[in-house]
Each structure stands twice: as structure tokens, then as C-alpha cells.
Amino acid sequence: MAISSINNFVFQVRRCQPELVAPSKPTPHEFKQLSDVDDQEGFRFQVPLIYFYRHNPNMEGKDPVKVIKKALAETLVFYYPFAGKLREGPGRKLFVECTGEGVLFIEADADVTLQEFGDALQPPFTCLDDVLYNVPNSDEIVNCPLLLIQVTRLKCGSFIFALRLNHTMTDAFGFLSFMTALAEIAQGASTPSIFPVWQRALLNARDPPRVTCIHREYDQLPYSENTIIPLSEMTHRSIFFGPTEISTLRKILPAHLCHCSTFDLITACLWRTRTIALQANPDDEMRLLCIVNLRSKIINLPSGYYGNAIVFPTAIATADKLSQNPLGYAVELIKKAKAEVSEEYIKSVADLMVIKGRPNITAVRSYAVSDVRRAGFDEVDLGWGKAIYAGPAKGGVATVPGLTSFYVPFNNRKGEEGTVVPFCLPAPAMDRFVAELDALFTTQPLVEVANYHNPSFIPSTL
């Protein structure tokens, strides 16, 4: 079990003045509403993503900044809403004014080589502020550019492509369509292979709206010092789940669960161990929000649809039951929560947004997980080959602020394929969390007994 902190090292970045890159051709000046799923409070934040690209001798003489800037201007002809700004109307309804102003772009150089970042690039990246400059007054949700991009050349010929995205516009899978189009055009295509589709009304509330499902993820609970962890107190680590760790976890599940998905397995392990580490009161309700992608599996959205198409089915258990029962208890709860997602569930979420004023997802004793292993970030080839790391720049930035983990595909130093999970907790809780995981993966596991309702049953491995 590899639980890593990120080594700090110092390097200098020289940045040019930020500029706006507008579409290369005139685009319509119009107003486009976001969907009732898009503009909920839980998406009103900025998401940082980062791509690392190696030097490619075949691209000698080509400047990644110029190539990307030119391709960006051409891509915005098709994705022109990104060149506008969000406005807020009655009922907190968000819409895009397609102004054609453009997206913020920064050209930069750093006196560092890719090798100096180490052979295991993984979030969180402590250099993020250097390779993605927060332009003053640019990070509000409304009346600001919708994309911020910085391309930083490294002295070895490699480069870093970092960006910040307004989440109300799109989710990970939707934004990949934009990045794919950018990559295709950077390599010489005149148009994207798949054209973007707006059609946000497909995920709007019904008329009249009616909430027909239970949505515990939107429970409005009172905040207190004991229920919300300040971001300033968080310690960050990355956790690697490779073949050995997955095999160990499967061995301690009862027979009827041993073939569960790796998502369910990792999520159950993290949720249960996190709860133990936090030392919550036994009767406190702990929430696990599973971020579920709706595309194709549940509803048929058009190819090219790039709006938010995710929901947050929630598993709930008291801290006592979650901590004292074996791992299979958490797996069962997670599987049940995910199974509740249906077309009716999605419509009910959109209706709830309209009826209840677009509420936020509760952050009280909540932990959210987002699996972006199949989002395809690492497939984006801007001409220099595939990125050696591509995806979220840090954990704790989404949906439940400070309390969200992303599952990212990763090869460790041994060449093993697995999943890396950025994770954050207060320092004392992180120490307990690491100790719990160490005990789990260094002790010979026992096969779990499916005795989930006996709170005194604790397998010796946990």
C-alpha cells in the first residue's frame, strides 16, 4: 500500500500577461440556458485539471504554446459558449451570454525539467499555483471567463497544460469532448470528429416539477464546528490501490460480494477507514456520495452532449455501524445506493432543483467519490503523444468542498497498473487513517462473515 505525500521543490516560472483567446471566426451572440442539473449550487465552483507531456523529437521546432493557442481559437468556433460568460437570472437560473470574448490564456516558461517532478506524477500537485496562475478577479462563477488555461514550457522540451474549468458548464466526461476536439484540431483536423451538442433542456425539470424519489444528498443539515472540517486544516496524501491491495480486499469479503466492482471495493474501504479515523460520535450519520455518470447507461443523451450529466446517490450509515461492521457492510450500502439511480431519479433531481431553489449538496459528515479512470483524459494527444499524467490536479475541490476524492488511473514505480486516490483529512485523523490502512494491508486477512447486524463483530484484520 503506497500512501504518498508530495515532495516540495522550488522552481521559477516566467509568465506572460494573461490574454483572451477568442474564436477564430465570428460566432453567434445569443443566450443559452444551462440545464436544471447544471446550475445547482453543488456545481458552482472551479475545477483544476493538469496534463504533463513529454518532449517529442518528432515535434522539434514546434512551439506547444503556439500550436495550442491556434487550435484553441479554432475549437472555440464550435464550442463558442465557452468563449462567453455566465449570467444569473430570476430563481438563480444560470445562462450563458455567448459574447465571443474568449477564454483566458497564459504563456509561461519554467526553469525545471520533467524529470525533476519525479517518476510518479500524481495529485495533489503542490506546484499548481505556479503552473496555473489565478488571474485576479477571474474565478467567480458569473461574469468571468469560463476557462483559464496556462501552457508552461519546461527546459527539457516537455510542457504542462493546466486549466481551470467552471463546473456548471460541463462535467469530466463532457469536457473530454472539448479536449478531444482541441487535440484533433491541433493535429490538423478542420472540424471535430464529434460535433458539440447543447440541448440542455433534456435535463430540465418537468412542468409541473414533482420530487418523486428520496434525495438524502440534498438534506439541509445544520453546520457546526464539529460537522465541517476547515480546508486550512487538511493534510493531503495520495493512496495507490494496485493488484495486491485489490486482491487483499476481495479476500475479506463474503462470497456473494467477492466479484463486486473495484469502485465499490475501494470506496467501501476508504469510507469505512475514513470514518474510523475521524472518531465520529457513534450515532452520527456518515454520508457517502457516489458520483454516477448518466451517459448511455441510464439515459440516452446525444453524442456530443457536453453538459453535466451526473447525479449523487447517497449511502448512509451511523459511524458505529460503519466502523464496527466488516467491509462488506459498506459494500452493500454502496451497491444499493447506486442501484437507486434511474431515469425517474434523474428527473426527480431536476425537479428538486426548481422546487427547492437549487440547494447545495450537504457537506455535513459527507465524503464524495468521483471515478474518472474511464473519462479518457490521458488519451488527449495534442501532437506530442499521450499525456503521462492527465486529470484532476488535486482532491477535495469538487461537490463536497474539501471532501471529495477522484479515482485516477496510475502506474506505480513497479509498473503495476492501478488507481491513485488523492485524499485529505485533518493531520491527526490522517495519521489514524494511514495506521488503519497499514494494518489492513500488512495483516493476513480473514474471510469476512456476512454478520452485518452484529455491531460487536470486528474481523481481526481491521
pLDDT tens profile 268-292: 999 999 999 999 999 999 999 999 9
Q: Does 316 lie in the same domain as 224?
A: yes
Residue 3 domain-assigned (yes or no): no
Query: Which of 167, 215, 236, 351 is an active site residue?
Result: 167
In a domain, 379, yes or no: no
Residues 105 and 247 in one domain: no
Residue 226 covered by a domain: yes
**Residue 87 confidence (pLDDT):** 98
Can you give the pLDDT at residue 450? 34
pLDDT in tens, 123-144: 778 888 999 999 999 999 999 9
Catalytic residue, candidates 139, 284, 378, 381? 381
Residue 160's domain is classified under what CATH number? 3.30.559.10
Q: Is the pLDDT of residue 110 over 60?
A: yes
SS3 147: strand
Per-residue pLDDT at 378: 85
Cα–Cα–Cα angle for 177, 183, 188, nearest 5°? 130
DSSP character for 145? B
Helical residues (DSSP H) of 343-445, grouped into ranges: 343-355, 427-442
Q: How many domains does the chain have?
A: 2
Final residue of a domain: which of 203, 230, 249?
203
- Is residue 254 located within the same domain as residue 156? no
Q: Which among 156, 176, 203 is the end of a domain? A: 203
* Domain-embedded: residue 195: yes
Same domain, 280 and 330: yes
Above pLDDT 90, what percent of the chain? 70
Domain match, 291 and 142 both: no
> Are 186 and 233 contained in the same domain?
no
For residue range 220-270, list pLDDT tens digits in order.
887 665 555 666 677 888 888 999 999 999 999 999 998 999 999 999 999
Q: Are 194 and 327 part of one and the same domain?
A: no
Burial class (CB in 10 A: 0-12, 13-18, 19+), 375: buried
**Torsion angle of C-alpha atoms 385, 47, 108, 17, degrees rounded to 10:** 140
* Residue 459 counted as domain residue: no
Examine the fold and report which residue of 203, 230, 259 is the final residue of a domain before the chain moves on. 203
Active site residue 167: yes
Are residues 244 and 179 located together in one domain of the fold? no
Residue 458 in any domain: the answer is: no
My answer on whether 241 and 369 are in the same domain is yes
Is residue 457 scored above 50 in pLDDT? no
Same domain for 109 and 258: no
* pLDDT at 324 (0 to 100): 95
Whether 291 and 186 share a structural domain: no
Q: Which domain holds residue 395?
A: 216-374+386-442
- For residue 171, is pLDDT > 70? yes
Q: Is 38 a catalytic residue?
A: no
C-alpha cell at 99: 459574447
Closest of 210, 183, 181 to residue 196, by C-alpha: 181
- The pLDDT value given to residue 226: 55
Q: How much is the mean pLDDT over the chain?
A: 88
445 pLDDT band (50/70/90 cuts)? very low
210 part of a folded domain:
no
460, part of any domain? no
pLDDT at 204 over 80: yes
Q: Are residues 312 and 199 in the same domain?
A: no
**Length of the chain (residues):** 462
